[in-house]
Amino acid sequence: MTGKSPKESYTIMNELVLPNDTNTLNNLMGGRLLHWMDIAAAISAQKHCNRIVVTASVDNVSFQSPIKLGDVISIEAKVTRAFTTSVEVRMDVWAQNIPSGTKVKSNEAYYTFVALDNDGKKTQVPVSLPETEEEIALYEGALRRRQLRLILGGKMAANDATELKALFFGEQLPLNLKA
Ligand SMILES: CC(C)(COP(=O)(O)OP(=O)(O)OC[C@H]1O[C@@H](n2cnc3c(N)ncnc32)[C@H](O)[C@@H]1OP(=O)(O)O)[C@@H](O)C(=O)NCCC(=O)NCCS
């Protein structure tokens, strides 16, 4: 199975914020943005895997400033790292107001997807081949983010999170975290 670079999964999705997408303050509803992000990230994951994918997890997403009715949302998504059957997708979300010429970063997020075969079973995904410095940094950081989300999802014991332990404690592990 040949590998794929992040640019092969690069996806950009644009949406115009319409009245039906907003709350009573005329701001984009957070849930609607998460829905669009799920779609953009799934398309990116599909491009990497050439498979149907399902969302396994959504990392913490914070909304830094309100997005207004009439703004254009741009969601940029790309696969940062493939593991065995799963891929991590990073998204950068921008809110643009075309008449006033402003464009601000709304949020960043990581979603994880699992690839399925034609029988709906988990299946192996192509490896990631990062090329640029930024892609390599995202690739390396993906291991720590994966361990954190697996611990939070109840899929990994904190004691097994070697990357996180090294990050937080270096060689000086507290007694209760020593293997
Ligand atoms: C996601 C799903 C396929 C995982 O299946 P599972 O049998 O529990 O999976 P496993 O524990 O064997 O893990 C399979 C892969 O998923 C990853 N994974 C599982 N839970 C995860 C989580 N909470 N966060 C991130 N990755 C996760 C594992 O790390 C593993 O990746 P790897 O093969 O690359 O190492 C399964 O739970 C599922 O189908 N969930 C529903 C998906 C869905 O409907 N999404 C839409 C939600 S509305």
Q: Determine the distance separating the centroid of ligand 1 and the alpha carbon of 3, expressed in angstroms.
A: 21
**DSSP strand pairing (11-16 vs 52-58):** unpaired
Mean predicted confidence (pLDDT) in 166-176: 66
pLDDT value at 128 more than 90: yes
Q: Residue whose CA is closest, atom 19 of ligand 1?
A: 56
Mean predicted confidence (pLDDT) in 25-54: 97
Mean predicted confidence (pLDDT) in 150-170: 87
Q: Which atom of ligand 1 is nearest to the CA of 87?
A: 34
pLDDT at res. 147:
94
pLDDT value at 32 more than 90: yes
**Does residue 86 line the site of ligand 1, with CB under 6 A?**
yes
The model's pTM is: 0.93
Domains of the chain: 6-129 (3.10.129.10)
Whether 114 contacts 122, CB under 8 Å: yes
Residue 179: pLDDT band with limits 50, 70, 90: very low
Q: Determine the distance separating the centroid of ligand 1 and the alpha carbon of 104, expressed in angstroms.
A: 33
Rounded CA-CA distance 76/40 in Å is 8
pLDDT value at 100 more than 50: yes
Q: Determine the distance separating the centroid of ligand 1 and the alpha carbon of 57, expressed in angstroms.
A: 8
Rounded CA-CA distance 51/34 in Å is 22
Rounded CA-CA distance 139/82 in Å is 9
Comparing C-alpha atoms, which of 4, 3, 6 is closest to residue 134? 6
